[in-house]
Amino acid sequence: MKKIKLHNGIEIPAIIMSTNWMDYPTMKKIVTAGLEIGYRAFDTARDYGNEHIVGKVLQECLKEQGLKREDIFITTKIGNSQQEQGNIAEQINISLRNLKTDYVDCWLMHWPYPEYYISTYHKMEKVYKEGKVKAIGMANYHIRHFQKLWEAGLEITPHCVQFEHHPLRTADDIQDFCHKHNIAIQAYTPLCRMIDKIKKSTILQDISSKTGKTIGQVILRWHYQHKSIPCFKSVNPVRLKENFNIWDFKLTENDMQLINSMNADYKYHLESVSCPGF
Amino acid sequence: MIILKKFIKKILYYILLSPLLKRTDWYKNLFVKNEYPNNDWYRTHDERNFDIVALGSSGAKWAYEFKEIKGMNWAHAPQTLVEDYNLLRNFHSILKEGGMVLITIMPFTSLNKKTNIYDAIRYLKTGAQAPIEPFLYRKASFYCEYPIWFGKPAYKALIKYLFNIKRNPYNNQLSELSYNPMNQEELEYNALEFINGWKKQFDISDLEAPLTEKNQEGRMFRVELMRKIIDFCIERNYKPIYVIPPVTQHLGKYFTPTFQETYIYSYLKDVNRNIPIIDLSKNTSLQKDELYFNSFFLNQKGRELFTKEVLTHVMI
């Protein structure tokens, strides 16, 4: 499995499977298939309401496939209601119990929840120092949130940032910020849900024909080549296999630029709907 | 026996009353969902990066008609400034970078109005996360499920529907007209009704007099709230713009220069935020009766003209 090194030396697999909103039977089927294919990173969050199912499934699947905890990478996130409660140090213990593990590889703040996100980050720094999480970071930040956090002061530069990122949203400002501070990028909705603007893009269709790969594979390769770690969800084992088959071809610099040119600042998910006051 | 009575009542409600009630203008106006970019909407619509959204109360609801640009009118009637702010907090991500937020200023925008059950119901149906107040939220949820329990207004609406009485100025069909169905006498009477309603609502005896102590207190709250709305927009790189729409001269004659200074312009000065103002309140070409469906609200033709004029000012 290809890996990317975080600024503290921790390595993260270059492609992540999301488990959001999956029930036990679906997740068991998908995680079993994913581990067999070669996936080693899994994304969840307290707000998905199934952290405990992720824990159960991973424990069972690791045993069944003869793998160890350290063979996989788990990302989870702290939600807005937990930020509001403020007991961040206790919240990680709940996540650890849910996930049936004694550490989380990457712990993200799910949203820059207004009025809370700066103090939440400072509390996350303390948890990181205790060793219960191997890396910390945040999701869904805009530059203005980073600026406020930096102005407030921080001890530990975030290791990882997750945001909606795909050819229709290159988010150059956030990418530049992350590169400048050596922060790794996780991309959610990395295929932009394959909406028509993606499926019918002549740029992607041409590159797909030229490389003999699907549009999905082309986009995932684009992510990999610019050091963005795609985090996608599929409940179809065939699609999982297809999405993992992106290591045997390379996009040219021109292909990369053409895909970048599709940027329209298009966000599938409306941030303020999930986080009022965002 | 009691259980049986309750059961019969429920059956009667679901079989007879509920379908009838849903056909009334009262129900359609109060309970039918408007289009807001909430969780359901964005998963079924591809459009993003809107150019413009409009906030405001009843006057704003019937002021805008966005056709040639990507715009949404989030005003419903009635709507308080608190709801304006909440709607913006919940749905602003639909706007493009640099998008515009039209903050519609009506004659009594500067006065504090407590959120009531009608506001709560209208707000609830937007699908926004943050409720108004827990008590009102629960009450509004109940009425949304069982509108017949609203009592008198529901019965009145049913009677009006059954006897085909359509005199309600909020009637959706009226607002779609391209002419004013009221004659001069009716317009005068309608304007006076609005004025008397507002005087009663805000406890005002003389529109030319300075603000009452109570209204001054309300003003202070609204000054702070308006600052929050504007600062929220600016921090997110949107362009907030005040828009003061016109009304017919039947109603406009009550809004004298003294009134406007006391209730509108001094309020905006107190807010003390340097943002553009599109003041069309005394634009005579937009005050013609034919552009309204009563003395206050623009009809289809009026909305199109007014929106065109606003967009010309913001140079789209």
Count of alpha carbons within 13 Å of A198, Cβ hemisphere only? 22
Contact status, residue B144 vs residue B21, Cβ threshold 8 Å: no
pLDDT at res. A252: 98
pLDDT tens per residue across span B234-266: 999 999 999 999 999 999 999 999 999 999 999
User: Could you tell me the CA-to-CA distances from B46 to A197, A217, B167, B215 in Å, in that order?
Assistant: 9, 23, 39, 44
pLDDT at res. B160: 84
User: Could you tell me the CA-to-CA distances from A106 to A20, A32, A133, A224, B40 in Å, in that order?
Assistant: 16, 22, 6, 19, 30
pLDDT tens per residue across span B106-131: 999 999 877 788 888 888 878 787 77
CB nearest B91 (choices: A196, A268, A273): A273
CB contact under 8 A, A273 and B92: no
pLDDT tens per residue across span B147-201: 888 888 888 888 888 887 655 545 557 888 899 999 999 999 999 999 999 999 9
Of B132-136, B142-146, B157-161, the one with minimum mean pLDDT is: B132-136
Assess A269–B contact: CB distance below 8 Å, yes or no. Answer: yes
Which residue in B94, B85, B63 sits closest to B225, CA to CA? B85
pLDDT tens per residue across span B8-57: 777 767 677 777 888 888 888 787 777 899 988 999 999 999 999 999 98
Q: What distance separates the 2 farthest-apart alpha carbons in chain B?
A: 69
Contact status, residue B86 vs residue B228, Cβ threshold 8 Å: no
Three-state helix/strand/coil letters over chain A: CCEEECCCCCEEECCEEECCCCCHHHHHHHHHHHHHHCCCEEECCHHHCCHHHHHHHHHHHHHHCCCCHHHCEEEEEECHHHHHHCCHHHHHHHHHHHHCCCCECEEEECCCCCCCHHHHHHHHHHHHHHCCECCEEEECCCHHHHHHHHHHCCCCCCCEEEEECECCECCHHHHHHHHHCCCEEEEECCCHHHCHHHHCCHHHHHHHHHHCCCHHHHHHHHHHHCCEEEEECCCCHHHHHHHHCCCCCCCCHHHHHHHHCCCCCCCCCCHHHHCCCC
Contact status, residue B281 vs residue B254, Cβ threshold 8 Å: no
Is 80 exceeded by the pLDDT of residue A209? yes
Q: Complex ipTM, two decimals?
A: 0.93
Count of alpha carbons within 13 Å of B209, Cβ hemisphere only? 10
Is 80 exceeded by the pLDDT of residue B276? yes
Q: How far is B27 from chain A (nearest CA, A)?
A: 27
pLDDT at res. B137: 83
Between B5 and A102, the more confident residue is A102
CB contact under 8 A, A266 and B90: no
pLDDT at res. B173: 74
CB nearest B49 (choices: A196, A265, A278): A265
Assess B126–A contact: CB distance below 8 Å, yes or no. Answer: no
Is 70 exceeded by the pLDDT of residue A143? yes
User: Could you tell me the CA-to-CA distances from B17 to A211, B22, B28 in Å, in that order?
Assistant: 63, 9, 15
Is A113 among the residues known to form the active site? no
Confidence category of residue B272, pLDDT binned at 50, 70, 90: very high
Assess B49–A contact: CB distance below 8 Å, yes or no. Answer: yes
Residue % of chain B over a pLDDT of 90? 60
Chain B: residue whose CA lies nearest to A270: B93
Between B29 and A272, the more confident residue is A272
Confidence category of residue A58, pLDDT binned at 50, 70, 90: very high
Q: Which residue, chain included where needed, has tokens 């937020």?
A: B101
Assess B96–A contact: CB distance below 8 Å, yes or no. Answer: yes
Q: Judging by DSSP bridges, how do beta strands A41-43 and A73-78 pair with one another?
A: parallel
**How much is the average pLDDT of A28-56?**
97
Q: How far is B89 from chain A (nearest CA, A)?
A: 4
Q: Is B286 strand, coil or helix?
A: helix
Which residue in B167, B194, B166 sits closest to B252, CA to CA? B194
CB contact under 8 A, B46 and A197: yes
Provide, as residue numbers in chain A, all residues whose Cβ is less than 8 Å from the Cβ of B86. 276
Chain B: residue whose CA lies nearest to A194: B46
Task: Fill in the DSSP letter of residue B298.
Answer: B
pLDDT at res. B24: 85
Candidate list A48, A113, A116, A224, residue with the active-site label: A48
Provide, as residue numbers in chain A, all residues whose Cβ is less than 8 Å from the Cβ of B46. 195-197
Alpha carbons B65 and B307: distance in angstroms, whole number: 6
Assess A151–B contact: CB distance below 8 Å, yes or no. Answer: no
Chain B: residue whose CA lies nearest to A271: B93
Alpha carbons A87 and A267: distance in angstroms, whole number: 32
The pLDDT mean for chain B works out to 89
Provide, as residue numbers in chain A, all residues whose Cβ is less than 8 Å from the Cβ of B53. none
Provide, as residue numbers in chain A, all residues whose Cβ is less than 8 Å from the Cβ of B39. 273
**How much is the average pLDDT of A26-33?**
97
Is 80 exceeded by the pLDDT of residue B6? no
pLDDT tens per residue across span B48-95: 999 999 999 889 999 999 998 999 999 987 777 888 999 999 999 999
CB nearest B93 (choices: A196, A197, A272): A272
Q: Is B162 strand, coil or helix?
A: helix
CB nearest B93 (choices: A196, A197, A270): A270
Alpha carbons B271 and A140: distance in angstroms, whole number: 32
Contact status, residue A155 vs residue A180, Cβ threshold 8 Å: no
Assess A20–B contact: CB distance below 8 Å, yes or no. Answer: no
pLDDT at res. B89: 95
Q: Is B67 strand, coil or helix?
A: coil
Q: Is B47 strand, coil or helix?
A: coil
**How much is the average pLDDT of A19-38?**
96
pLDDT at res. B47: 94
Alpha helices (H) in B203-299, listed in sequence order: 213-235, 249-252, 257-260, 266-271
Alpha carbons B8 and B1: distance in angstroms, whole number: 11
Confidence category of residue A26, pLDDT binned at 50, 70, 90: very high
The pLDDT mean for chain A works out to 97
Assess B45–A contact: CB distance below 8 Å, yes or no. Answer: no
pLDDT at res. A205: 98
Between B277 and B3, the more confident residue is B277
CB contact under 8 A, B39 and A266: no
Provide, as residue numbers in chain A, all residues whose Cβ is less than 8 Å from the Cβ of B38. 273
